[in-house]
Chains A and B, each alone.
Chain A
Amino acid sequence: SQKIEQNSEALNIQEGKTATLTCNYTNYSPAYLQWYRQDPGRGPVFLLLIRENEKEKRKERLKVTFDTTLKQSLFHITASQPADSATYLCALDMGPGNQFYFGTGTSLTVIP
């Protein structure tokens, strides 16, 4: 069965540094990989999507890479700010009908 793992449950970094989050998957070859942000008590909010034929995608301070050989995506936040503190989730379309399955998430805390 498919499995999606995110590198750690919690990540603490100093303001201004680059945060790097990892998403690894097994047993499937998704066409898309998405990243979401979730704040406490709220629903996830879409950030970025990367397709299997794309190596890298950028949006402002965010950068996502997608390595289909390693079955891994990296999510970077550069010049991190305390407002970036949240849980970040990766999601993959792992079903024939484009069902999206989520990783367990990584809680990021940016320390001022």
Chain B
Amino acid sequence: DAGVIQSPRHEVTEMGQEVTLRCKPISGHNSLFWYRQTMMRGLELLIYFNNNVPIDDSGMPEDRFSAKMPNASFSTLKIQPSEPRDSAVYFCASSGLGSGTNTGELFFGEGSRLTVL
């Protein structure tokens, strides 16, 4: 298995532009998480999907952030409009939690490093 795949790995954009980050979870996993990591705040949970349905989006910072999971193999995190304070590494993680076969281990992608100028 290729693991969790995220794209792009690096994104540099200007303030006000729309940013879309993409994630392909591990096949068979039914839970997907988006995290944001900064030096100041560490790893923050943004949103959690289970069976493609958003369960908890209380960590989404503002209305500028939105996430979708149209099917079991794809999710997007969109920021519109982007601001310099959104600069961070965004991680996607998947888990087989709830499938009765696992211990809740999260498998992370390599992250998307976003820089908003």
Binary interface profile of A, 23-44, with partner B (CB < 8 Å = 1, else 0)?
Answer: 0000000001010100001111
Are B55's CB and A97's CB within 8 A? yes
CA distance A12 to B8 in the complex (A): 34
Are B104's CB and A97's CB within 8 A? no
Residue in A36, A99, A103 whose CB lies within 8 Å of B56: A99
Cβ-closest chain B residue relative to A49 = B103
Closest 6 CB pairs of A and B: A43-B108, A104-B42, A102-B43, A97-B55, A46-B105, A49-B103
Tell me the number of A-to-B contacts counted with CB atoms below 8 Å. 60
Contacts of A46 in B (CB 8 A): 105-107
Binary interface profile of B, 23-49, with partner A (CB < 8 Å = 1, else 0)?
Answer: 000000001010100000011110010
CA distance A100 to B105 in the complex (A): 10
Asked, given contacts A97-B56, A99-B33, whether A44 binds B45 with beta carbons under 8 Å apart, the answer is no
Are B56's CB and A42's CB within 8 A? no
CA distance A69 to B55 in the complex (A): 30
B83 interface residue per 8 A CB criterion = no
User: Contact residues of B with A, CB < 8 Å?
Assistant: 4, 31, 33, 35, 42-45, 48, 50, 55-56, 91, 93, 97-98, 103-111
CA distance A89 to B45 in the complex (A): 14
Are B105's CB and A34's CB within 8 A? yes
A8 interface residue per 8 A CB criterion = no
Are A100's CB and B104's CB within 8 A? yes
17 interchain pairs, CB-CB under 8 A: A34-B104, A36-B106, A41-B110, A43-B4, A43-B109, A43-B110, A44-B106, A46-B105, A46-B107, A95-B56, A98-B31, A99-B45, A99-B55, A100-B33, A102-B42, A104-B42, A105-B43
For the complex formed, measure the closest distance between the CB of B73 and the CB atoms of chain A, giving whole angstroms: 19
Contacts of A91 in B (CB 8 A): 106
